[in-house]
Amino acid sequence: MAQNITLATIVADIRARGEFRTNPIDDTVLGRWVNQSVAHLYDIMIAGDCARVPMSQGNVTVASGTQSYDLATAGLTDYYHLLRVDVLDGSEYYRLEPFMVGDPIELIDDEDDKFSTRYHMRGGVLWLSQSPTWSGTLRLTYVPVAPTIVDGATPVLLDSKNQWQEWVVLDCCIKLGAMDNHEAVPIWLRERDRVERRILKATRNDRSSARTLFLTRQNRARDARELYRLRRR
């Protein structure tokens, strides 16, 4: 079960964990370091499995003759990592396929066919495979930027997965320890690596995760093809 942690709690854990002889920075600066570490933790979680982080959706309006769309201009200012793109047809959405620049199948024969349109993300801009001659709506499913946690009259909380905020605490202890010439820095480095391995292992071993389901189905398909090949002998 996820647990809610405030910024003040994390800062207090950092101060207590390190038992620093001096306080080279105040809690305001340390709070910024915490949020930098939270963003790094999000990248680790995404590398393990995107299902561990929140998901958002937003629409982009396609105009005939326009090939690229800036997501910030379209109102998706919290965009970070794209998961999929769907095109609206009537009342239903249908998935589009991505392409890479230089891909032999980048271009399509019929730019009138919105279902054949492919997409590519580059620097927060959505590029279509060709300038469309159709207009409509694309729905983007994506991972938003990591949350910024602050303390105030109503503290913003970090949704911690199984005490994974320990990675943030250790990361900040390492930074503070480097300033204070703390003898425990090598120990914290090893502990942070241990927590990171635990996070990646937990995400990749989750049987219900999208990554695991995909790999399982892929392996089953491979096994089925091998069984068919053996039976054909």
Using CA atoms, how far apart are residues 158 and 148, in angstroms rounded to an integer?
A: 8
Whether the CB-CB separation of 64 and 117 falls below 8 Å is answered with no
Residue 26, pLDDT score: 86
Residue 82, pLDDT score: 94
Residue 202, pLDDT score: 85
Q: What is the pLDDT of residues 179-190, one digit of tens each?
A: 878 889 999 999
pTM summary value: 0.77
DSSP H helical ranges for the chain: 7-18, 27-48, 165-180, 185-205, 210-231
Its sign, for the CA torsion 29, 31, 32, 33, is: positive
**One-letter amino acid of 153:** A
Q: What is the pLDDT of residues 53-68, one digit of tens each?
A: 889 999 999 999 999 9
Q: What is the pLDDT of residues 83-130, one digit of tens each?
A: 999 999 999 999 999 988 776 655 555 557 888 889 999 989 999 988
**Higher per-residue pLDDT: 31 or 19:** 31
Those residues with Cβ within 8 angstroms of residue 142's Cβ, 6 or more apart along the chain or in another chain: 55, 56, 57, 58, 76, 79, 80, 81, 82, 83
**One-letter amino acid of 22:** T
Using CA atoms, how far apart are residues 162 and 54, in angstroms rounded to an integer?
A: 16
**Phi and psi at residue 30, to the nearest 5°:** -65, -35
Chain length of the chain: 233
Q: What is the pLDDT of residues 221-233, one digit of tens each?
A: 455 555 545 454 4
Residue 207, pLDDT score: 57
- CA torsion 45-51-57-63 (nearest 10°) is 80
pLDDT at 211 over 60: no
Residue 228, pLDDT score: 46
CA terminus-to-terminus distance, the chain: 51
DSSP-assigned beta bridge partners for residue 86? 95, 139
Q: What is the largest CA-CA distance in the chain?
A: 75
- Give the helix, strand, coil percentages of the chain, each rounded to 5: 40, 25, 35
Residue 144, pLDDT score: 94
**What proportion of the chain, given as a percentage, has pLDDT over 90?**
44
Residue 19, sorted as left (phi over 0), alpha (psi -120 to 50) or beta, turns out to be left
